[in-house]
Amino acid sequence: MNTRIPVSQEQVISAFQFRHATNTFDTTKQISEEDFNYILEAGRLSPSSMGLEPWKFVVVQNPELRNKLKAVSPGAQRQLDTASHFVIILAQTDVRYDSEYLMDQLKHVKQLPEEVITFYSSALKDVQEVNGSLTDERFLYEWSAKQTYIALGNMMTAAALVGIDSCPMEGFDYAAVDRILEEEGLYQEGNLKVSVMAAFGYRSEEPARAKTRRTIDQIVTWS
C-alpha cells in the first residue's frame, strides 16, 4: 500500500525555511538511530536517471578518518569536528549503457524483462552518444554525480521536515578524498568516486543571517 499521508504546503515551506547550511553542530546532541535511518531512507528512495541509483553513502563516524578528511577538506572543518553524522556520497562511474553495473541494476534490482532492458540500454546509448562520448569517463562520472545531488537534496529536505539540521559540502580536494577512501578500503566494491559531502546533526546556534534568495521573477520565465 502506497497511501500518502497528507502534508500541508505550509509545513513543507516551513521546513525549507528552517533548513540552513549548518557549519557548527551541537556536539551534545546525537541523531537517534531511527532518525538517521530515516534520512538514509530518503536517499535510498530518491529518483535517478533510469532508476540507476548510481550512488553509495559512506557514513564517517571514526574520528581518525574524520581527521584525515579534514586535512584535505577546507570547507568541512567544523562539520567534520561537530556533526552527529557525516556522510560522503559517492558516484558510480561505470554507467555506460552497456556497463556491468547498469545491466545488473536493470536485471536484478529493477527486474525488467529482457526486451525492456534492450530498449532502455539502446535509448541510453543514443542519449550518451548525442550528449557526451561513450569513452569519456568524466562524462559518465558527471552524469552519476548529478543524480547523487537529487539524493543529497532529498536527505537534507527529509531531515529539515523533522527538525534535523544539515550542511552540504564541496569544499575539498576530490582526488585526495578519493585516495583516502581508497586506502580505507572503501572502494573495493565497485567503480566509485567522491561526489559530495553532507553533515547532519543539530544546530549549536541559530543562523546569524536571514535566508536570502533571488525573487521568483528573477528565476522563473513562462513561455
CB of 33 to a copy of itself, least distance (A): 11
Per the CB < 8 A criterion, the answer to whether 31 and 84 are in contact is yes
Radius of gyration of the chain (CA): 19
Q: Taking CB under 8 A as the rule, does residue 46 contact a copy of itself?
A: yes
Residue 41 near a copy of itself by CB under 8 A: yes
110 binds a copy of itself (CB under 8 A): yes
Phi-psi region of 160 (alpha: psi -120 to 50; beta: other; left: phi over 0): alpha
Is residue 146 close enough to count as binding a copy of itself by CB under 8 A?
Answer: yes
Which residues are CB-neighbours of 145 under 8 A, at least 6 positions away?
A: 91, 195, 196
Closest CA to 150 of 91, 192, 202: 91
Of the candidates 23, 25, 31, 60, which one interacts with a copy of itself according to CB under 8 A?
A: 60
Nearest CA to 150 out of 74, 59, 42 is that of 42
91: enclosing H helix or E strand: strand 85-92
Residue 147 interacting with a copy of itself (CB under 8 A): yes
Q: How far is the CB of 197 from a copy of itself (least distance, A)?
A: 12
Report the residue from 62, 67, 118, 133 that binds a copy of itself according to the rule CB under 8 A: 62
Q: Does 140 bind a copy of itself (CB under 8 A)?
A: no
Q: How many residues bind a copy of itself (CB under 8 A)?
A: 91
Cα separations in angstroms, 124 against 118, 134, 151:
10, 11, 21
User: How many beta carbons lie within 10 A of that of residue 68, not counting itself?
Assistant: 20
Q: By CB under 8 A, what part of segment 79-108 binds a copy of itself?
A: 105
CB 103, min distance to a copy of itself, A? 14
Applying CB under 8 A, the span of 25-33, 76-84, 95-103, 171-179 interacting with a copy of itself comes to 171-179
Contacting a copy of itself within 179-208 (CB under 8 A):
184, 186, 196
Quickly tell me which residue has 562520448 as its cell: 133
Position among 145, 193, 197, 199 found at the interface with a copy of itself (CB under 8 A): 145
Q: Is 61 in the site for a copy of itself (CB under 8 A)?
A: yes
Binding status of residue 134 toward a copy of itself by CB under 8 A: no
